[in-house]
Amino acid sequence: MAKVCAICGRRPEYGKSVSHSGKHSIRVRLPNLQRVRIVQGGRRRRVLVCTRCLKAGKVVKA
């Protein structure tokens, strides 16, 4: 299962971590996804939803 929010489509962000010496290494920031049961289109589904959508009330829990 991909690390993507089913409601807003938030995905991992890629960038570089820079140490004190200036060395670059790749880092990944993952969204805080929770597996919840929601009602979508009159059906109950279990999907990954980010906590930002949960707090905003964009999801109707089953």
Question: How much is the pLDDT for 54?
Answer: 94
Question: How much is the pLDDT for 41?
Answer: 86
44 falls within a domain: yes
50 falls within a domain: yes
DSSP classification of residue 61: B
Q: Are 36 and 59 within 8 A, CB to CB?
A: yes
41 falls within a domain: yes
Task: Grade residue 30 by pLDDT with cuts at 50, 70 and 90.
Answer: very high
- For 28, the domain range is 13-56
> What integer is the mean pLDDT of 14-40?
96
Quote the percentage of the chain above a pLDDT of 70: 98
Residue type, 35: R
Question: How much is the pLDDT for 62?
Answer: 86
Domain count, the chain: 1
